[in-house]
């Protein structure tokens, strides 16, 4: 008995010692120099390994950022804070990237959209969409079972009483999970500064939409016509907003007859050019309705009859000579 115990102890000990020595030798022979900054960068990152940056995990991102393949700002979860720290570490300037937020493109909750049938199955949007028949008459609408709420790793989505998801801007990290999950593709990522949202995804003709949903886009094209920067385009019976072009003037929301477009920004009530105007003619060139007149190097005037209060002149003026009054709509 004793000898077996001794043999076992000795033989395993010798074997382990032999292998350990071999490995120790190998780790010296095959030692790979690693950039210590990768480790430090990894420490700074949130460590959620969510993949929102496009890399497999935080460590891969750290490697890429140290190699300079991706800007320090491309971690959407960490935001400005992480970007600044990374920039400090790498000695680069942090340009603040525009934060993005998931936007819901449907407004038809239980109250607004007509019902087709009563669904009594698995309580999941993916399951409900798989059977091909929607509970609501609109086949593009939100199914309302809250798959997005479930998939959101940051608790940024909650379902309201109307059966529609609400995105909490402060918690959303633009991780794209809801965008991928929604079987009706109702989420898009838009810039955090975006104040205009066309909340409909229905490609049905206006006549059909009018019958089944109180707030669906009826493709009247009024928003397309009123938009001073051509940020809205009709795509197969649906007005689609290009967030990159939008200047958040809110004119489309004002015009929309069915209230599909939400506007959260401040509407310009009064706008005028002050004495500071140096007559550079920039505003006159940019004005979409030619409401600004004036000679070069002289103070310009806004024609109140023509002005649509889009605020482009306010944005382009190099000397801040345009004053505006705003009000929350």
Binding site for other proteins (CB under 8 A): 4, 7-8, 11-12, 15-16, 19-20, 22-23, 26-27, 30-32, 130
| Least Cβ distance, residue 19 to other proteins (angstroms) | 4
| Least Cβ distance, residue 133 to other proteins (angstroms) | 17
CB-based burial, 202-212: b 16+ in 10 Å, e otherwise: bebebebbeeb
Cβ proximity to other proteins, 38 vs 220, nearer residue: 38
| Least Cβ distance, residue 26 to other proteins (angstroms) | 5
Angle at 85 between CA 73 and CA 174, to 5 degrees: 35
- Cβ burial of 1 (10 Å; 0-12, 13-18, 19+) is exposed
| Least Cβ distance, residue 23 to other proteins (angstroms) | 6
Cβ proximity to other proteins, 30 vs 275, nearer residue: 30
Cβ proximity to other proteins, 31 vs 320, nearer residue: 31
Cβ proximity to other proteins, 9 vs 88, nearer residue: 9
* Distance between CA atoms of residues 97 and 11, nearest Å: 61
CB contact set of 22 (below 8 Å; sequence gap of 6+): none
Cβ proximity to other proteins, 4 vs 327, nearer residue: 4
| Least Cβ distance, residue 143 to other proteins (angstroms) | 17
Residues 19, 23, 25, 26: is their CA dihedral positive or negative?
positive
Alpha helix (H) residue ranges in 142-227? 147-151, 177-181, 206-212, 222-226
Question: Contact 99/175 with Cβ under 8 angstroms?
Answer: no
């Amino acid at each position: 008995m004793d000898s077996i115990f001794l043999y076992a102890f000795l033989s395993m000990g010798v074997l382990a010692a032999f292998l350990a020595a071999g490995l120790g030798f190998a780790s010296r022979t095959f030692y790979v120099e690693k950039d210590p900054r990768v480790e430090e960068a990894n420490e700074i990152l949130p460590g959620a390994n969510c993949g929102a940056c496009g890399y497999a995990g935080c460590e891969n991102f750290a490697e890429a950022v140290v190699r300079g393949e991706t800007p320090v700002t491309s971690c959407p979860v960490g935001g400005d804070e992480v970007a600044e720290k990374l920039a400090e570490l790498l000695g680069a300037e942090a340009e603040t990237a525009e934060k993005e937020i998931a936007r819901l493109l449907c407004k038809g909750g239980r109250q607004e959209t007509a019902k087709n049938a009563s669904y009594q199955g698995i309580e999941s949007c993916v399951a409900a969409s798989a059977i091909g028949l929607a509970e609501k008459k609109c086949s593009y609408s939100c199914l309302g079972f809250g798959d997005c709420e479930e998939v959101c790793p940051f608790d940024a989505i909650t379902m309201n009483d109307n059966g529609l998801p609400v995105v909490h801007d402060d918690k959303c990290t633009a991780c794209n999970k809801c965008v991928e999950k929604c079987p009706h593709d109702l989420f898009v990522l838009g810039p955090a500064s975006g104040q205009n949202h066309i909340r409909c995804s229905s490609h049905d003709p206006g006549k059909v939409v009018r019958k089944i949903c109180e707030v669906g886009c009826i493709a009247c094209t009024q928003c397309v016509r009123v938009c001073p920067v051509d940020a809205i385009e009709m795509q197969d019976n649906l007005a689609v907003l290009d967030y990159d072009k939008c200047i958040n003037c809110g004119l489309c929301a004002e015009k929309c007859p069915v209230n599909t477009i939400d506007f959260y920004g401040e509407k310009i009530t009064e706008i005028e050019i002050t004495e500071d105007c140096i007559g550079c003619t920039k505003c006159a060139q940019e004005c979409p309705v030619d409401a600004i007149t004036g000679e070069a190097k002289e103070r310009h005037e806004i024609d109140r009859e023509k002005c649509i209060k889009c605020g482009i002149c306010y944005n382009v003026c190099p000397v801040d000579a345009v004053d505006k009054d705003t009000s929350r709509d």
